[in-house]
């Protein structure tokens, strides 16, 4: 939040007692490159995911039961036949409502409130600050104590929802082991779906809230050896949480894109069995 011009000389980096440096930063390296790449990467994903979630085309390859993760679960009568793995309890939906309207808000909330993504977009989008030793343009800082940023504290609840959605994605990947004429079969699409869901689980389980769920509020690890072991494994994954955050953005796009190509008959699925 920018303060009125009259206040600028007394708050934030202009406070009395702070070094009087006119330059915004004395850094000579390309400190701007990392925030720039981050904002480009996030923007590319958001644009792709938004378009794909609304177009309602080529999201289900009926021959092999491949369902795009951007359309799961598909619970309305607007879904193409076969795409509704859990039935159609909802009526037809207008075009401005995405077919995965039940999961997308929670997935969006999960990613938006993720500790890694917060760091990414605080730096890259809000420039707060853009990098170490680079003064931010804002002169006030209210933290996550008021709207809208206080919503960040709800991350653990989005984590629970993400676990449920990961179970649904796992089910989607399992029912996709389906041959063209019925029965068992698998092809490259199955490999992509399974890899995607495994990585989604890895991202979800490596969440900071998961660390708290598994090992938080314990006074003595020695009295809870199972929870301690689980917490230790989650903590190891947690050190790579940033990488999983980015990798899963890529695998989500790749999975949807591949299914789009197969469902639209642009390419044929590479079949190994069935
Ligand atoms: Fe990133 Fe929870 S901290 S998903």
For range 115-143, the mean pLDDT: 86
Least confident interval from 3-7, 42-46, 184-188, 195-199: 3-7
Question: Quick one: which of 245, 243, 236, 246 has its CA closest to 211?
Answer: 236
Distance, CA 237 to ligand 1 centroid (Å)? 11
Whether 3 shows a pLDDT value over 60: the answer reads no
Task: Report d(CA 85, CA 71) in Å as an integer.
Answer: 11
Ligand 1, pocket-test mutation among 206, 246, 248, most atoms within 8 A of CB: 206
Whether 128 shows a pLDDT value over 90: the answer reads no
Distance, CA 249 to ligand 1 centroid (Å)? 13
For range 60-87, the mean pLDDT: 97
Task: Report d(CA 113, CA 14) in Å as an integer.
Answer: 30
| Residues lining ligand 1, Cβ inside 6 A | 110, 114-116, 155, 159, 207-209, 241
Name 61's Cβ contacts closer than 8 Å, sequence gap at least 6.
189, 259, 262, 263, 269
ipTM over 0.90: yes
- Provide the whole-model pTM: 0.90
For range 206-214, the mean pLDDT: 97
Looking from the CA of residue 116, the nearest atom of ligand 1 is: 1
Distance, CA 86 to ligand 1 centroid (Å)? 27
Distance, CA 172 to ligand 1 centroid (Å)? 23
Whether 8 shows a pLDDT value over 60: the answer reads no
CA distances to 58, 74, 89 from 84, rounded to whole Å, are 14, 5, 10
């Amino acid at each position: 939040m920018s303060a009125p011009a009259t206040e600028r000389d007394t708050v934030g980096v202009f406070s009395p007692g702070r070094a009087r440096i006119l330059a915004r930063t004395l850094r000579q390296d390309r400190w701007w490159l990392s925030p720039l790449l981050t904002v480009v990467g996030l923007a590319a994903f958001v644009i792709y995911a938004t378009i794909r979630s609304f177009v309602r085309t080529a999201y289900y390859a009926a021959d092999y039961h491949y369902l795009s993760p951007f359309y799961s679960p598909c619970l309305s009568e607007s879904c193409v036949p076969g795409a509704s793995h859990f039935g159609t309890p909802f009526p037809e939906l207008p075009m401005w409502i995405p077919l995965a309207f039940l999961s997308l808000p929670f997935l969006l909330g999960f990613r938006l409130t993720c500790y890694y993504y917060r760091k990414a977009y605080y730096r890259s989008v809000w420039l707060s600050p853009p990098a170490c030793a680079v003064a931010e343009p804002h002169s006030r800082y209210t933290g996550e104590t008021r709207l809208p940023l206080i919503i960040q504290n709800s991350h653990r609840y989005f984590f629970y929802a993400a676990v449920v959605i990961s179970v649904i994605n796992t089910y989607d990947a399992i029912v996709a082991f389906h041959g063209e004429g019925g029965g068992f079969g698998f092809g490259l699409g199955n490999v992509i779906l399974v890899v995607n869901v495994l990585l989604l689980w890895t991202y979800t389980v490596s969440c900071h809230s998961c660390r708290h769920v598994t090992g938080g509020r314990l006074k003595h690890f020695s009295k809870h050896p199972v929870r301690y072991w689980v917490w230790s494994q989650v903590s190891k994954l947690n050190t790579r949480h940033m990488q999983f955050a980015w990798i899963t953005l890529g695998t989500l796009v790749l999975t949807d894109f591949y299914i789009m190509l197969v469902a639209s008959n642009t390419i044929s699925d590479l079949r190994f069995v069935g």
